[in-house]
Amino acid sequence: MKRWLIGLLLVAALAGCARPKQAQRSAVHQAPSAKAAASSKAVASRRSSEAARAASSSASAANTKAASAQAASASASSASRARDAQAQAATLPQGTNHNARAAAYAHPAATVHAEMTGRLDPSQPKTVYLTFDDGPNLTMTPRILAVLRQAQVPATFFVVGRQVGPRTAAMLRREYDEGHAIGLHSQTHTYGFERTGNAGATAWEIDQSLAAVRRVLGVGFVTHAWRYPGGHMSWAAHLAKPDAVVAAHGMSWIDWNAASGDALGRTSPTTVPAMLAYHSRSLQAYGPHNATVVLMHDAPDKTTTLAALPQIIAYYRQRGYQFGVIA
Ligand SMILES: [Zn+2]
């Protein structure tokens, strides 16, 4: 193939790699009264990722053509691609929400759900589950991952489907690769389906967020952990039908019985000592259980949570807790 044609194909490939901007609205917990723009943005976001996939696939087609022109390097290049594909297949989830290493400390969501509300059995171990809602994002997720890696403890990330896309895919993969678990926290992080107790809307939120994660981690991704935006406790009176939908999807809803207080708006602690004090008070308020599930948030403005995280980890480590993830 002529040099100029190869050049043209490469330019086309690079142009195809430009991803459409994806909506990155921070999906932090808000007061239920704050209505967030919902389905139209979700649809736009969905279209963006479809467009990106189409662009990506045409880019790789162009790459393939360019590579085939160079006969000498073609076989080496295809062998390398095959190795990459093999390595990726080995790391993709197969019926789980965590990697093989994390299986040693992964506990079924139904068990965690029962233990976090049940009476403490002192003969059984105490396990803490650090949980981070609302990600992934490009600014806070890597900082949380760095702290967790430094402390060598795992966490469970309850991700929002529309936060998951080409821009944040690498963050989601890192969560999985670094031994953490992934739960679902709805597609839109809007509260309408909870306020109305609408079964169809609940199913849509679950299915869409599951599909978003599967587009990144593969169809083998399965999670049993579901967290309602705002928590089940905020909407319990309306959730008979949504709860049935969650159960029909093979999932258990997971609230929390410890908190950092980082989603209270203007009353959230703004210093590390204040956050640690809030955390201690929350433990007293919820009482002792074999499973302690700590609510924290993975959003760009949660800098106090990030700063307090090493001491929150130390609190449980000093008291002999095991660190688990929710499967
Ligand atoms: Zn949330």
Provide the CATH number for the domain around residue 292.
3.20.20.370
Domain final residue, candidates 59, 91, 123: 91
CA torsion, ordered 278, 280, 282, 286, to nearest 10 deg: 180
105, 75: one domain: no
Q: How far is the CA of 291 from the centre of ligand 1 (A)?
A: 21
79, 217: one domain: no
Residue 279 lies in a domain: yes
Query: pLDDT tens across 100-150, in order?
Result: 999 999 999 999 999 999 999 999 999 999 999 999 999 999 999 999 999
Q: How far is the CA of 280 from the centre of ligand 1 (A)?
A: 21
How far, in Å, CA of 288 to CA of 309, rounded? 21
197, 73: one domain: no
Q: How far is the CA of 259 from the centre of ligand 1 (A)?
A: 13
134, 72: one domain: no
Distances (CA, A) of 204 to 22, 189, 254: 20, 12, 19
- Nearest CA among 273, 239, 275 for reference residue 255: 239
Whether residue 15 has pLDDT greater than 50 = no
Q: How far is the CA of 277 from the centre of ligand 1 (A)?
A: 22
Residue 96 lies in a domain: no
Q: How far is the CA of 193 from the centre of ligand 1 (A)?
A: 14
Domain final residue, candidates 66, 91, 116: 91
pLDDT at 91: 76
Is the CB of residue 91 less than 8 Å from the CB of residue 177?
yes
Query: pLDDT tens across 285-310, in order?
Result: 999 999 999 999 999 999 999 999 99
Q: How far is the CA of 194 from the centre of ligand 1 (A)?
A: 13
Mean pLDDT of 2-22: 35
Q: How far is the CA of 82 from the centre of ligand 1 (A)?
A: 39
Q: How far is the CA of 49 from the centre of ligand 1 (A)?
A: 22
pLDDT at 238: 96
Q: Which domain holds residue 320?
A: 101-326
Q: How far is the CA of 218 from the centre of ligand 1 (A)?
A: 24
pLDDT at 43: 33
Higher pLDDT, 75 or 197: 197
Q: How far is the CA of 28 from the centre of ligand 1 (A)?
A: 5
Residue 55 lies in a domain: yes
Is the CB of residue 293 less than 8 Å from the CB of residue 257?
yes
Contacts of 105 (CB under 8 A, 6+ apart): 154, 322, 323, 324, 325
